[in-house]
Structure 1
């Protein structure tokens, strides 16, 4: 991981800040749609700071520059930030949040500026209040200053084709989805819903794109009212099939027209809506931008809510759930083939392979399988100490040679037309240390405990998080990332609103039948090794002897189909129940994936060995 010299970029930005009468400038990671993963043209925080992680926030004053990120990226940020930057490690004691740090810079009436398209309306309000209390001012800056610094070197905006996600994989027509949204509008007595999250729009209209690497989405906005369904997108991106699919039920308008249209739509609706005391409002997601909120007329005309599209999308229908089962079998076979090949290359053939070589081979194996559409994120192929970097991204020529005598962690996933996968396996091709085996087994026990739990309807992922950490906690150990995230159906690999972890939002939304979520505890020793075990599970109703309070009880159906690493398991730390659970899982893996290896004796032998009962 190389450091980028940011001195020249910061000097140019500070010059522009003076021209715009800005003392402090804020640069979040997200694009205008609050996307976690972004197109290269929107990687503004990465450009100005040199830090490439997916989560972070940069703030620049005339004298200082600070970058805030979470525990997944502490190690990476320390390696990538140059001497111009102060690293704020979020979550650690006495470390200010980026908002607190920013507010501390405004004494004497200084002005804080931000591009209003890349911050949410809610975040803008909260920060404005903090800055005002400290004597400063917070204002929207019409043009993005990082784009001006970047200039001609900035990548162009993507213009990829938009395709149809057929009913055989989506399980529900877009007309029915729009009808459901209209019922929500009626229930909430709203004028319409403005959708800005790209995966929500793709899901709503049963369309997919490729404007953002690994995320099958396309740049767009959508508005649904009781009488209209509008898609704001560059029409040249729509294939003939996509246009036929939308037909006359959806009005197509240019992507850039959204702000002027919302201003006009809002003015017209409010003028026609009678008594001001009775006026209905528009709904936006609480992730919608400050710019969208301003275009609609601000708080008096907008209610910010958890998106009804996001909630509906997170509950997969039976077609989507079956697609998840099927794609994870194919994906599990691909992973097993890769691990068998890698072990053979490293141990038997004494080959020299770096981490990128490994990831590329895995992608080529996945590509042989039905309905493969690409990867769902950059493959984390990491050896030894690199495995301790939670979101490590190997790149040539700096990628390390895979050491068969060290831990190897592979976190990877794929997009298939019938589902999205995300699996992490930690392996060792030599003789692991007792420390590594103990840590791996404690992580495995947490993974099993979470997968086996039964819980009453209404339980959140926040409440379940401790189950995965309990065995590590008993030894005074832990990990600095969430335990689980929602996953889309041929959509984003990270999907809200549900998840398992200590984030406040995970306490707000209960897990529900049809949710698909990861189960991925881990343990990391900086400079030595990292361990993570990740399975995908689906929430289902389960039978229990009693039903306290007449509530249904829920549990998880596992769908990831590749074995755990036998060499890393210390069986003396497992209970008989846990051994039985692993044996049953491994038998299922063998039964469902061995058919892929009828003409592949190497992979079949590896699978037999790794799934043999304890």
Structure 2
């Protein structure tokens, strides 16, 4: 939201850099068209991933005079991202400054900045969660013991929510709440605004042995743990740089009390003498274990209750969408004027009638014609188009239910599509089916499957600028890791039975039309007559049950599946 306030860009991914003389903005291929529309002429748009476009770091090193100081808010950068930036700009003698006490954008925003959310948290019932909090905490503690750690700091909001069987509404479309969590061998502490914790939630936490502290107390607690020599497990890819900085400072003070300086420890760790080297390495390890959170993978592999909830919520969601598509097709054929915003609002109305509906899982992407080519298009009442029968209509939407999360995209034509529309749509559909039907060995990372969704497009020189699939939470974030299906991000996480991913190839012609077809898939085990090397094979089970338009009119499809 700070980025949106400063730049006018409302997409979910982008980086703004302001120097004394320049203002530059980076975003990826999903948002090129949106950024062109929303950024003012004060900003230079740099299209990440395009040939010859410098990265943020390369640009800084090029435009800044030697010895400059680059400031960041360390609460908004992961430790890994801050360290990468620090190392890269030091090559040009620049210094990274962690501005911890205030945010520069907030200084401009002032009193008009929205207040922090105060919505209450709630208990996520065991019939949906499947595993109680005590069992989840026991698993985390077993991982602490196995890795020789005393405490783990959990900072990803969906991980906190999953681990504590809690949900909230601090972030639009995501049932999470602002918080941190530390888990020690004998206790756990939730850092959260206590005003959000009802008596029911408080009792739920007490039962699991979880204490409450204020949200802001996380830094002092980490510092306290460091100063007493505790070894912390920190996922440096997600824990913010402020926490890691405070922890390392506390560790330095602890070591000084023991008569050691960081320089001495480093010298010992690089010693040729095995005994001295071992002592140095052990002392360095007091600075913590930096590896992926033990919750990340556990959360991504859904248990039976979570899978059941996802299946049930998808069936109710499909019923809402079947009603919606019947309604809109009749309206368009009767020449009723409907804007993209009105379409999204009516879809919300159909979903609201379903049991367990909470909210949408992201802003509905309702794009007719050229607007469908804007991959993450967000229609507004003052600038949107009307939906007609002369071009393609792309609708990407999802919902949060008490028992599951949905995400579905359909592209339809209410009139007679052109030969170009048909060819592109068919090739996207061929890729969608190829991935849907894939069978692959266990331990296969998602990026290996990405080519299946693109190959039909590649044959005629077409492609799309986004990943083919993302992980999805169970009544949690619609985008979750660590799994994905994308060749662009180098994700080596193996797909496992119980994971959920999207299948969403597409094609977009700027200023003309867009196509995307998306279902959610559950990774399942496939029983084969023969199995090379005795290994297991995996495939997919569809969770989404909404027809895909073919030559036959959409309503005829819907009538065939209606009860």
TM-score by length of 2: 0.91
In structure 1, distance between residues paired with 2:470 and 2:54: 26
Matched, 1:537 2:521: yes
Matched, 1:154 2:140: no
Aligned equivalent of 1:115, options 55, 73, 94: 73
Aligned equivalent of 2:50, options 86, 92, 98: 92
Q: Deviations over 1:487-544 (max 9, x none)?
A: 01111000011000023342x2100000000000000000000000000000000012
How big is the shift at 1:141? 1.1
In structure 2, distance between residues paired with 1:102 and 1:365: 49
Gapped regions of structure 2 (runs ≥ 5): 250-283
Contact 2:174 2:478 (C-alpha < 8 Å) held by counterparts: yes
Matched, 1:196 2:134: no
Match of 1:511 in 2: 495
**Other structure's SS at 2:17 match:** strand
Match of 1:324 in 2: 310
Structure 2 matches for 1:406-421, cutoff 5 A?
406-421=391-406
Matched, 1:548 2:532: yes
Contact 2:400 2:406 (C-alpha < 8 Å) held by counterparts: yes
Match of 1:16 in 2: none
Matched, 1:138 2:96: yes
**Other structure's SS at 1:567 match:** coil
Q: Deviations over 1:269-309 (max 9, x none)?
A: 34xxxxxxxxx443335211000101212685122211211
Match of 1:337 in 2: 323
How big is the shift at 1:395? 1.1
TM-score by length of 1: 0.84
**Other structure's SS at 2:177 match:** coil
How big is the shift at 1:422? 0.1
**Other structure's SS at 2:427 match:** helix
Contact 1:542 1:554 (C-alpha < 8 Å) held by counterparts: yes
Change (3 A) 1:324 1:400: same
In structure 1, distance between residues paired with 2:499 and 2:305: 13
Match of 2:350 in 1: 365
Match of 2:511 in 1: 527
Matched, 1:251 2:215: no
How big is the shift at 1:106? 2.9
Contact 1:428 1:568 (C-alpha < 8 Å) held by counterparts: no
Gapped regions of structure 1 (runs ≥ 5): 1-42, 271-279, 570-602
Matched, 1:269 2:229: yes
Change (3 A) 1:505 1:568: farther
In structure 1, distance between residues paired with 2:37 and 2:547: 33
Cα RMSD after superposing both structures: 1.6
Aligned equivalent of 1:473, options 424, 446, 458: 458
Aligned length: 525
Aligned equivalent of 1:125, options 73, 83, 86: 83
In structure 2, distance between residues paired with 1:240 and 1:527: 54
Aligned equivalent of 1:64, options 22, 25, 29: 22
Change (3 A) 1:207 1:610: closer
Contact 1:437 1:568 (C-alpha < 8 Å) held by counterparts: no
Contact 1:194 1:224 (C-alpha < 8 Å) held by counterparts: yes
Aligned equivalent of 1:567, options 505, 530, 551: 551
**Other structure's SS at 1:459 match:** coil
**Other structure's SS at 2:465 match:** coil
Matched, 1:213 2:172: yes
How big is the shift at 1:560? 0.3
